[in-house]
Each structure stands twice: as C-alpha cells, then as structure tokens.
C-alpha cells in the first residue's frame, strides 16, 4: 500500500440498531464492500463478542487466525488479525472473538486499536451487536457517523429511537463536547407493495417519527439470503434490487445525490400472474 502516514485520519462508521435481526451485519458487510470497491481502504470490524458472524457473511470464516481480543491482549499484532478480502484489494475484515467473557473488549484496548486503524484506513466500519449493553456501547463509542438500520415495524423503530438517544449522550463525541455523531437512517426489508396497501410504515412515516435523514431504502429481497448463504456481500450482486439499493446508499454516504429506487410497488404482469413466478 502506498498510503503514507500523512493521510487524513480515517472515518469511523458504526452500523447499529438496538433491535436484533434487522440487518446490521448484512449492512456492515455491504457498506464496507461498497466503500472498498470505490477504492477507499476499508476495514469492517465485528463487535459482537461471543457471536462471531461477520466472517461468515463476508465469506472468510476459514481464514480467521487471530481476533479482536487477541490484539487487545497483545497476543497478536493488528496486521496479523486483519483478513484481506480475496475479491477487493482495499477491503479487510477484523473478526471478533468467540469468548463468553463480556468484558473482554477493554475500553483502552479498543481505543488503541481504533487509533491505529484511523491512521491506516480511510473507513472503519463497526458492526454493532444488538441491544444497548456494553458491546453496543463500545461499538458506537468511537463513531464519527452512524448508520441506524431500521425495519418499518414498531419495535425496530422504537429501538432505533433509543439508540439515537444513546448516540447523542454516550458517544465519545458527546463526552468531549465535539460535533455530534452524524446520523443516517437505513430502512431495510422494505416492501413497497405492503406500504401501498397501508400495511407497513412508509419511508415518510419513519422519517417523520425519527427525524433522521434517509441514507437508503433496501427492499425486502431474496438475494440477501442468497448472498449470506455463499458469503458474498449482497452489494456485489449487481442484479439484485437489494444490492443496487446498497450501492446507492454508499454513493449517498459519499455525498452523491441519488433518487430512491425500488420504493414503488412492482406491477404484476399478466405473464407472472399466469405462470406464478414472482
């Protein structure tokens, strides 16, 4: 790598939600991959100690040698623990440990690792565990910006509101009285058809309730399961609406203006209606 020590410090992005199962790991993998595809040197970190899963979603589970806790305890160097992606040259995965010790991520150790990563990478994407306990707090503490992953559903929206409150009060930026963590809302598992039928909260509903700008809307899509089955970040699937919606979200994150896609209900074609392949 020809990045010099003089480069601007990297930006830390936390992918968080409060609620589990809304698509944090899928999103962290997709966003990190999207940033790396655009040439930014990017590392994606699994903060879910005890429940390592980012490695599977990224497809590098058989290449894990050292993990986050090994680095914090000084049993391995940071560079030994980082796994270089086989598809994208500028992408690295930092796996977590499978220990059951909840206190394994010592704050000073994490701060030290984050500082080193800031120096060597353009973007550091932190995949937060669910909940509002220590693990989630550690994941969001160092963030410069946050991607709040929300499903258009009551419990997810409520938990997102909770985590927004925590970001504003408990992050490093809040404690140091710096400019607040930049918030982005990512709506996932969105079903335009159900919204049109009044069965699902719309983009505008969620935006109005949480008052956070929308970074993207990811349609409910079979391609997400297909991607995790094979360990391929869904953003690399250019054919799938979810992949393209993630690509739009990454472009918006980097400041591009892009219209929302896949937010209008698909019209049923006569062909599909007869032959029944959706």
Partner 1 sequence: MRILEFLFPKRTASPATAAIAKERLQVVLAHERSKRESAEIVPLLKRELLSVIAKYVAIKEDMIQVKLGRDGSASVLRINVEFDGLRKPKRARA
Nearer to partner 1, 75 or 208 (CB): 208
Q: 227 exposed, middle or buried (CB, 10 Å; 0-12, 13-18, 19+)?
A: buried
> Residue 143: which residues within 8 A CB-CB, separation 6 or more?
12, 13, 14, 126, 167, 171, 172, 173, 181
Using CB under 8 A, count the residues that bind partner 1.
24
**Least distance CB 222 / partner 1 (angstroms):** 20
Under rule CB under 8 A, which residues in 147-166 are in contact with partner 1?
Answer: 153-154, 157-158, 161-162, 165
Binding flag, residue 202, partner 1 (CB under 8 A): yes
**Least distance CB 275 / partner 1 (angstroms):** 8
Nearer to partner 1, 60 or 206 (CB): 206
CA distance 137 to 167: 9
CA distance 59 to 86: 9
Binding flag, residue 267, partner 1 (CB under 8 A): no
**Least distance CB 152 / partner 1 (angstroms):** 8
* Per-position DSSP letters for 178-193, written without gaps between them: -SPPEEEEEEEEE-HH
Q: In angstroms, how far is the first alpha carbon of the chain from the final one?
A: 46
Binding flag, residue 201, partner 1 (CB under 8 A): yes
Nearer to partner 1, 25 or 151 (CB): 151
**Least distance CB 175 / partner 1 (angstroms):** 13
Binding mask 66-85 for partner 1 (x = CB under 8 A): --------------------
**Least distance CB 276 / partner 1 (angstroms):** 5
**Least distance CB 118 / partner 1 (angstroms):** 29
Stretch that binds partner 1, among 109-117, 183-191, 197-205, 242-250 (CB under 8 A): 197-205
Binding flag, residue 5, partner 1 (CB under 8 A): no
- Residue 235 phi/psi, 5-degree rounding, is -65, -20
- Residue 270 phi/psi, 5-degree rounding, is -60, -40
Binding residue (CB under 8 A) for partner 1 from 205, 225, 264, 265: 205
Binding flag, residue 176, partner 1 (CB under 8 A): no
Cβ count near 254 (within 10 Å): 12
Distances (CA, A) of 175 to 142, 168, 170, 220: 11, 9, 7, 37
- Residue 166 phi/psi, 5-degree rounding, is -70, -40
Contact 238, 256 (CB under 8 A): no
Binding residue (CB under 8 A) for partner 1 from 104, 200, 212, 242: 200
Binding residues for partner 1, per CB under 8 A?
153-154, 157-158, 161-162, 165, 169, 195, 197-202, 205, 208-209, 268, 270, 273-276
């Amino acid at each position: 790598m020809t990045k010099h020590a003089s480069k601007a410090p990297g930006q830390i992005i936390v992918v968080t939600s409060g609620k589990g199962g809304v698509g944090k790991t899928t999103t962290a993998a997709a966003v990190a991959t999207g940033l790396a595809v655009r040439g930014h040197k990017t590392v994606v970190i699994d903060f879910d100690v005890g429940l390592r899963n980012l490695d599977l979603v990224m497809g590098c589970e058989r290449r894990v040698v050292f993990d986050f806790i090994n680095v914090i305890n000084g049993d391995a160097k940071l560079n030994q623990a980082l796994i270089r992606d086989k598809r994208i040259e500028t992408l690295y995965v930092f796996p977590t440990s499978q220990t059951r010790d909840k206190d394994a991520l010592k704050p000073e150790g994490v701060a030290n690792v984050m500082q080193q990563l800031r120096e060597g990478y353009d973007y550091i994407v932190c995949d937060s565990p669910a909940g509002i306990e220590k693990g989630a707090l550690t994941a969001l503490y160092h963030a410069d910006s946050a991607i709040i992953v929300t499903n258009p559903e009551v419990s997810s929206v409520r938990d997102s509101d909770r985590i927004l409150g925590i970001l504003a009060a408990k992050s490093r930026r809040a404690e140091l009285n710096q400019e607040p963590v930049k918030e982005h809302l990512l709506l996932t598992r969105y079903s335009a058809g159900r919204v049109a039928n009044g069965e699902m909260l719309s983009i505008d509903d969620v935006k109005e309730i949480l008052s956070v700008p929308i970074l993207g809307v990811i349609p409910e899509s079979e391609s997400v399961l297909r991607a995790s089955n094979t360990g391929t970040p869904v953003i690399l699937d250019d054919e799938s609406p979810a992949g393209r919606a993630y690509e739009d979200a990454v472009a918006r994150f980097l400041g591009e203006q892009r219209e929302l896609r896949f937010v209008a209900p698909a019209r049923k074609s006569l062909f599909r209606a007869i032959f029944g392949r959706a």
